[in-house]
Structure 1
Amino acid sequence: MEWYNVGKIVNTHGIRGEVRVMATTDFPDERFAVGSELAIFMPKSKTPVMVKVASHRKHKNFNLLTFEGYPNINDVEKFRDGIVKVSERDLTELEENEFYYHEIIGCRVVTETGEEIGTVTEIIETGANDVWTVTPKEGKPHYIPYIEQVVKEIDVDEKLVKIELMDGLLS
């Protein structure tokens, strides 16, 4: 079964079993909804700990979660630094021109004329639009804004992205 990252537990919060999660998903309200089943993968363990979300709220830049059966800080301290994941069966269908990060990361990026730019290695959320880090075989990474004027075509099956090279984009 495939697992996909949705966050990282960075700390505990208070004494009532809350954990601070730094989300790595565009859908935190959906992923961390009460009743959602999540897997926590600890750094030195191959077997995930399955948990069910008992509560979810936002606090500053974090999502605060509690899990059923883990009522206090002593129960959840062991989850610190754990990676929170969902299984592939929990992924939802996206609308047209929407993609999961794991579908974009690893895609080759070429210009409309076929010039190879590099591979998408990271997606940075900026608030206005995502920015894709495109790393060439040699040299410094490029930062490509995910906007209609630049990204012209995405083929996740072929792992290929075509962009229009605007002036100053790769400098």
Structure 2
Amino acid sequence: MLVVIGRIGRAHGIRGELNVQIRTDEPERRFAPGSPIICGDRTLTVEASRHHSGRLLVAFREVPDRTAAEQLHGAVLEADIDPSQSPDDPDELYDHQLVGLHVRAADETVVGMVTRVMHGPGQDALVIDAGAHEVLVPFVAALVPVVDVDAGYLQLNDVPGLLDPGAAEQVDP
């Protein structure tokens, strides 16, 4: 099972180091030396990783110089994990644990199902099949206060327009 752990940013220096936008709560585990990382149709091996000016810099064995590093800009990095594995932090979840969960409104009625997780630059969003349409819901505690993987559901707060943007309250300028 593949889980997204990062996105490659700009090249750093001339030796092939890359800035990585972290998409995992376990960067020390996922970017440890020797770790295999899936990058598109190839596997990269972490040579070294370090924090520099608030960013994670990663060197891969297969990326010898800046020219090779620049070709990877924007690529998504994934780790192959055992589907039964969970993150070390009990408050964190992998995408595959969220996909398939029933989505309940604040009044407990089932309004849809999570079909995938989108990883954006600022935050993640749940893609919810709400029957007649698809809805994107930012995956933040203010909007999704309850996630019960064992029971197979998550619950949304009652926010006007969250599931139906056309029903959002109109604000006068």
CA distance in 2, matches of 1:90, 1:104: 12
Runs of 5+ unmatched residues, structure 2:
163-167, 169-173
Is the Cα contact below 8 Å between 1:105 and 1:123 reproduced in 2?
no
- Percent identity between the two aligned chains: 22
Give the 5 Å matches for 1:20-169: 20-41=19-40, 48-60=41-53, 62-89=55-82, 92-94=85-87, 96-105=90-99, 107-111=101-105, 113-120=107-114, 121-122=117-118, 135=128, 136=130, 145-146=140-141, 151-155=145-149, 158=152, 160-162=153-155, 165=157
2:171 matched residue in structure 1: none
Q: What TM-score do you get using the length of structure 1 for normalisation?
A: 0.66
Offset at 1:35?
A: 1.6
The one-letter code of the counterpart of 1:77 is: E
Q: Which piece of structure 1 moves more, 30-39 or 66-75?
A: 66-75
Letter in 1 for 2:64: P
Once residues 140 and 83 of structure 1 are traced to their aligned partners in structure 2, the CA distance between those partners, rounded to angstroms, is 23
Change (3 A) 1:88 1:55: same
- Are the equivalent residues in 1 in contact too, given 2:105–2:155 (CA < 8 A)? yes
Query: Residues 13 and 109 of structure 1: is their aligned pair in 2 closer, same or farther, counting only changes over 3 Å?
Result: same
Give the match's secondary structure for 2:97. helix
Residue 16 of structure 1 corresponds to which residue in structure 2?
15
Q: How far 1:12 sits from its partner (Å)?
A: 1.0
TM value normalised by structure 2: 0.66
Matched to 2:9, the amino acid is: V
C-alpha separation in 2, matches of 1:52 and 1:40: 10
SS of structure 2 residue aligned to 1:79: coil
Residue-pair matches, total: 158
> Does structure 2 conserve the Cα–Cα contact (< 8 Å) formed by 1:53 and 1:68?
yes
